Chain A
Amino acid sequence: MTENLDRRRLLTNAVVGSAALAGATALGSLAPEAAFAAPGEQAVEPGAPDPNFAEGRITGISAGMLFVTGSDLALWRIRITGGTSIWKLRPTTFDQVAVGDGLYARGLRLPDGTLAADSVWVNIVNVHAHIAAIGRNLLHLDHKGKRIVGHLVPGTSAARYNNTPAVSDMSMLRVGKHVQVIGAWVPDTNEVEIATVYAAA
């Protein structure tokens, strides 16, 4: 834990500590070749599955590796590295990922068949629905006639009204109105934890 705090202090100092930066680029170069030095995008045939993308339910977890069964029953081994971003309602860490979670992952397919993940989004869902009822920190959503229960997580859930920047004020949500919800599904239920709700106000 203290190691993590030290690391954060180091990174914080690196970015805001050197307040007296002279020009636009004080150190290093941002030549185009820096951006394109990365291995070029592998061309994917139109209609062919993208080899660098995986989706499915997690069936097993071992050190640094997720075993995932895709919806087409493809078996994936997804390697999580220090550079992998993991989203589960919020940016989080590998130990928060559980067996039974669903995921989308993007990365680079290695010759041994594993996918070295750049980004993993766990349980992420995108729902267009109507608000059927509102309870304490709860949105009951009507999604094509089926009920979805959306939990607002204080401190994390945000609302965007009319595409303005996100705020934590949820009080402008109205029963009967249309909303779009980005959230984290609670596996094997009809419940989601809400990350962002888009609404008109």
Chain B
Amino acid sequence: MISWIAPLQPLLLGIVLLWSARLKLLSPHAAAAAGRSALAKLVGDTRALPAYRLVGAGEAALALVLLAPPALPAEALAAAALSLGFTGYLAYARVAAPDSSCGCLSATRTPVRWRSFARTGALLAASMLALPAAGSWFDVLRGRPLPAAALLLAETALLVVLSPELDRHWLDRLRQLKVQVTRPLPAGGFDVPLDSTVEQLHRSPVWRETAALLTSDLREHWDDDDWRILVFTARHHGQEVAAVYAVPRLRYQPAAVRVVLVDEPTGQVLLTLESPPDSPEPDWVLPSPAAAAA
């Protein structure tokens, strides 16, 4: 059993390391990824990018050695040592720079969480599995193509699941699909949210004239047939009064908004205000009384 599993591990490790090195050496986002990673804290901002590239070069070199025959136990030991080193780095990042990004497989900002540790653990396990490898992965792939491909696919799937960087490619899609199927959010009835009414109030001519009087935020509101009543506190001639606005509830007609200022203890109305009726025609089109008389 182990005789065909072990030689496949260098292939897996080599591909993962090449992928990781690609970001660090070739990606245009490498500088940004390095700056966001805990390396900036570990070796200083100016040395973060060279250190990042150095890690990438190490990964690429080890990947090429792992992929090239023959399979030597020393290569597996080197991969295990690298995984251990990553674990130490992740632990350092978690403790010293918890806000930093992993910078592992993608430039996407990914804080270090348990999945990153599990992924390095999986790589460590693969390195240990590779230790007794006797032959080349190429021979195994040729000799047992189906089981070998299945095993590699399963291992790759495990690594993808353990990579938070790749979530947006599969996990977000799955969750979007689930939302489309289960529709967990209310699609909304015809009731008008309070926010919508307040916005209509803010766009009304009456509001422009009276907003400067208000001292409080929205105090109270209730519905009355076609109207939604909004109550604020206002200051009018040095007196604290209630500013009672009536806003159309089911139509959008800011010009219809009206207000009264009421002295609440006495119930006395101090001011009423509504804007002139909306007319599609400008004032000068309306017949003037003088012209009509002549």
Contacts and interface: CB of A to CB of B under 8 A. Distances in A.
Interface residues of B, number: 67
A64 to B, nearest CB: 16
A110 interface: no
B199 A166 contact: yes
A173 B185 contact: yes
Nearest to A144: B99
Interface stretch (B37-45, B70-78, B257-265): B257-265
Interface in B192-219: 193-196, 199-200, 209-210, 212-213, 215-219
B74 to A, nearest CB: 38
Contact of A171 (B187, B195, B213, B261): B187
B28 interface: no
Interface in B88-120: 99, 109, 111, 113
A63 B270 CA distance: 30
Interface stretch (A32-40, A43-51, A69-77, A185-193): A32-40
B244 A134 contact: no
B232 A85 contact: yes
Contacts of B227: 12, 15-16
B210 A171 contact: no
A176 B246 CA distance: 40
Contacts of A91: 194, 217-221
Contact of A24 (B210, B220, B236, B276): B276
A25 B276 CA distance: 9
Interface in A168-190: 168-171, 173-176
A133 B183 CA distance: 13
Contacts of A119: 215-217
Interface in A71-104: 82-87, 90-91
Interface in A121-143: 121, 132-138
Contact of B236 (A34, A90, A134): A34
A175 B176 contact: yes
A156 B236 CA distance: 32
B243 to A, nearest CB: 10
Given A14-B244, A18-B272, A167-B193, A176 B168 contact: yes
Contact of A138 (B184, B199, B210): B184
Contact of A169 (B188, B218, B258): B188
A8 B259 CA distance: 14
A10 interface: yes
Contacts of A160: 195
8 contacts: A10-B267, A12-B229, A15-B244, A28-B272, A38-B213, A38-B215, A85-B233, A136-B184
Sorted from nearest, which 9 A-B pairs have the closest CB atoms? Answer: A28-B271, A169-B188, A158-B193, A166-B195, A145-B111, A83-B233, A170-B185, A168-B188, A85-B216
Interface of A: 7-8, 10-12, 14-16, 18, 21, 23-30, 34-35, 37-38, 82-87, 90-91, 118-119, 121, 132-138, 144-145, 152, 154-158, 160, 165-171, 173-176, 195-196
Given A85-B216, A174-B179, 4 more contacts: A14-B260, A23-B276, A85-B233, A118-B216
